[in-house]
Structure 1
């Protein structure tokens, strides 16, 4: 029988992993729901975010890198990860705009198989480019020792849990702040209303005279930025290699929206957290069964509730 401390640890680790899944799921579900576009390059955006974060972290760290070589050594905090928090979403957003314009737009009216092939091909191109330019080596996770003068390299004592890495606790907080802001933006802004309407019935939105096509670029770019940001969060707690785009991002992102429901932001958040807790619980108890139990759970969801926790059978129609 699990102790209270073990249960609390499972939940915290589940929140950590679930936040990454939720970020991926939100980005994928708004693209799929609003634009009815199947983007298999979503994992490549996670990969780009991870490597961009790694490069920015290294080049802006105050102990070495470009800032150090320029004579900047005292900013009052370790600037590498903070710089990555700003740069990575911007890079993801820009790549998303380019992808929508040159990859997605020509295939809006093409069969879904064409969309799958072109985006899967793009994902392979990105992965092979990373291997050829940076190499196929595995890099250690990026984590600063201090943030604004606060030491985050030491564990912190939490009730029930005991010692827990303070850096991972901070990562959970950062991820959920971004998730919360994204949720508010979709629920409370005009852009968000268009996204919600488009996920339920994009054709009716057009009939009503709402220029949904103008929002496509922004929707794709926001989804890409969230995937890249998820890559940065993942790279801060896990190793980085060219294979992470598929293994840690693309498949979990689709599993998340299957569980949560296609087109639902709330579903993406809930689905990500549920899967995160499941993988955390199984990893801590029966690690060899973790992936099997995860897929069995998703299969059961498809049988019992195929529309997902918050999805609708009519999404996108």
Structure 2
């Protein structure tokens, strides 16, 4: 049974856990002092914000679609790599972007074109998609080796063509009536192709312009591009891989699990196995210690005085982003028309479809939104944790545990689970040692599931 809840009754298990954590924090304050307690709490909330950005997408997707996306952490990792590349190596990103835009144009225009029947076979679609990836990689290599602009443009258009063929292989409902496409529908693919050609033609000036930007603007651009890239990747995954498997949940699990390994190897092939460190934007990087938030805003200090102990200002930024996203998503789900459609679709998707709402588009939108949240988490985590290929698996595990602790499909439970995990990790690092801190998530999940199998705020099946 699918469910997605915002409101929840008081759970005595959740109350008991909160009281227990308050007691532990009180003991730490008594034995180690308030400055140490403040540092532990803020460090825990920093991790909790990152865990929540991953877990919230998992919760939204499972609550509406009954899909456990084990590739969610990989999207978090890809967001981190894209953000790092745009911030520090924008020329490399602009080299491959035209191929991606061309491929997306082909994917979007495919349903509008009448293609001969032999291209609609799924085998042809798979081969075409593989060829699209090969074309992209070869074109990037040719560009780096000094190939002509004409050859690169040919690669862009070839990628669009192969993407077109791949898109036709997707399943279309048998009762769907073909309608002539309006000029507005064609505008999107044409804009994508035009943008691909423009970036290809102006690649060097654009790269110089991005490099010349202030680091704060480059970071803001990395946030936007990384988040949008995660959303587009999520939409593509749902449309091409998840949608044909809605009636086969076991196949969904196996497919997303395999996709996680594939995406990990793709990242290793493109960026290499070694990790990277990403500099903080100038807004959080000046070597000084601010006494107040106003002092930080004026001097852009890297540390701020929090009850007698310095704390990195960038970590406070992560906490603020996590809180803002939690509030925005809750308001969208509770107050907007889209949120009403999502909650209605959770209860009875067939009735929503009968009312004339395209439930498949809603599914794609929710999956893309969940992936975008994960990618956003990856971008803001990069200056804090660095960028490395195993970060996707680590945050996938923590996000999944947060969802299970809070209750599958419970949005408030997901937030509570992320906070519990973040504080437990911070307490473990400062009190019990790194080994116990790493194991704390699994220990907490085991204890909670033994007492309350549905999670802290989850509903009983």
2:253 matched residue in structure 1 = 116
Q: Secondary structure of the equivalent of 1:143?
A: coil
Of 13, 37, 40, the residue aligned with 2:43 is: 13
* C-alpha distance 143-77 of structure 1, shift in aligned 2 (>3 A): closer
Residue 129 (structure 1) aligned with residue 266 (structure 2): yes
Question: What is the alpha-carbon distance in structure 2 between the residues aligned to residue 47 and residue 280 of structure 1?
Answer: 22
Deviation at 1:186, TM superposition (A): 1.3
Deviates more, 1:28-37 or 1:211-220: 211-220
1:39 matched residue in structure 2 = 69
Deviation at 1:197, TM superposition (A): 3.8
Runs of 5+ in structure 2 lacking a partner?
1-30, 92-202, 285-295
1:264 matched residue in structure 2 = 410
Deviates more, 1:237-246 or 1:141-150: 141-150
Residues 60 and 67 in structure 1, CA contact (< 8 A), matched pair in contact too: no
Q: Deviations over 1:124-163 (max 9, x none)?
A: 1110011111100011144112379855452111225x11
2:396 matched residue in structure 1 = 250
Residue 156 (structure 1) aligned with residue 304 (structure 2): yes
Runs of 5+ in structure 1 lacking a partner?
none
Of 253, 277, 296, the residue aligned with 2:423 is: 277
Q: Secondary structure of the equivalent of 1:236?
A: helix
Count of residue pairs brought into register by the alignment: 307
Of 359, 363, 379, the residue aligned with 1:232 is: 379
Residues 60 and 66 in structure 1, CA contact (< 8 A), matched pair in contact too: no
1:101 matched residue in structure 2 = 239
2:225 matched residue in structure 1 = 87
Give the structure-2-normalised TM-score. 0.62
* C-alpha distance 66-22 of structure 1, shift in aligned 2 (>3 A): farther
Q: Which has the larger radius of gyration?
A: 2
Q: Secondary structure of the equivalent of 1:263?
A: coil
* C-alpha distance 225-150 of structure 1, shift in aligned 2 (>3 A): farther
* C-alpha distance 295-123 of structure 1, shift in aligned 2 (>3 A): same
Deviation at 1:37, TM superposition (A): 1.1
* C-alpha distance 208-313 of structure 1, shift in aligned 2 (>3 A): farther
2:140 matched residue in structure 1 = none
Question: What is the alpha-carbon distance in structure 2 between the residues aligned to residue 245 and residue 87 of structure 1?
Answer: 19
Give the structure-1-normalised TM-score. 0.88
Question: What is the alpha-carbon distance in structure 1 between the residues aligned to residue 85 and residue 425 of structure 2?
Answer: 29
Deviation at 1:291, TM superposition (A): 2.2
Residues 90 and 211 in structure 2, CA contact (< 8 A), matched pair in contact too: no
* C-alpha distance 171-152 of structure 1, shift in aligned 2 (>3 A): farther
Deviation at 1:66, TM superposition (A): 6.7
* C-alpha distance 74-105 of structure 1, shift in aligned 2 (>3 A): closer
Question: What is the alpha-carbon distance in structure 2 between the residues aligned to residue 180 and residue 230 of structure 1?
Answer: 16
Residues 34 and 202 in structure 1, CA contact (< 8 A), matched pair in contact too: no
CA RMSD of aligned residues (A): 2.6
Larger helix fraction of residues: 2
